[in-house]
A = this chain, B = another copy of it.
């Protein structure tokens, strides 16, 4: 499909930016990637998302669309071809529910582990991450019915919502020594993660784990260093 003035404002390390990139790849839409410089916000970003001032922003014919899962739904509705959301209203609602859960509860628990002020809070956050993965294992078991993806035979909305976090999940595993995607606890998710990461629409935008680890260490050093004089 020919591109009709599609631009995406983003950054390579953001899981939220991965989502519209995967959706555009699935639809076969060409787009220009406008990489934001770390630590600053471009004029275009500030103008395009004056409310949140956050990436990603999709610009389609100059019109901005914000919030990663809203962009994914927009891409699904604006371009034909590969269907990202199921066609049945009930299954669409279920997909939206898990997308919301991942953003509202699961990922905040994962990022909360390293920020937990006490050992008890840390333990609780880790438990929440595992509980979330258990929920999602059950969803995969039900919706997948022996198929590789949450979307069945093809990548769908929940695949994108969760799969975009795989890079940081692996980086967190490497940094903490904990295994979140554990064969003995959530075998279907382990298998899903491999298939998702190897998919043509995903592998070209999935950041390397070592690069994310390096990035996380740089961030940590930057924010724990005393201010320069």
Q: Which residues of A pack against B, CB within 8 Å? A: 51-52, 60, 63, 65-67, 70-71, 73-74, 77-78, 89-90, 92-94, 96-97, 100-101, 105, 135
Contacts and interface: CB of A to CB of B under 8 A. Distances in A.
Secondary structure type dominating chain A contacts: helix
Contacts of A52: 101
A51 to B, nearest CB: 6
A129 to B, nearest CB: 14
A29 to B, nearest CB: 13
23 contacts: A51-B101, A51-B105, A51-B135, A52-B101, A60-B90, A63-B90, A65-B90, A65-B93, A65-B97, A66-B97, A67-B96, A70-B93, A70-B97, A71-B93, A73-B92, A73-B93, A74-B89, A74-B90, A74-B92, A74-B93, A77-B89, A77-B92, A78-B90
A86 B34 CA distance: 29
A9 to B, nearest CB: 15
Contacts of A67: 96-97, 100
Contacts of A101: 51-52
Given A100-B67, A100-B70, A135-B51, A89 B78 contact: yes
A70 to B, nearest CB: 5
A52 B101 CA distance: 9
A124 B101 CA distance: 28
Contacts of A70: 93, 96-97, 100
A199 B63 CA distance: 33
A90 to B, nearest CB: 6
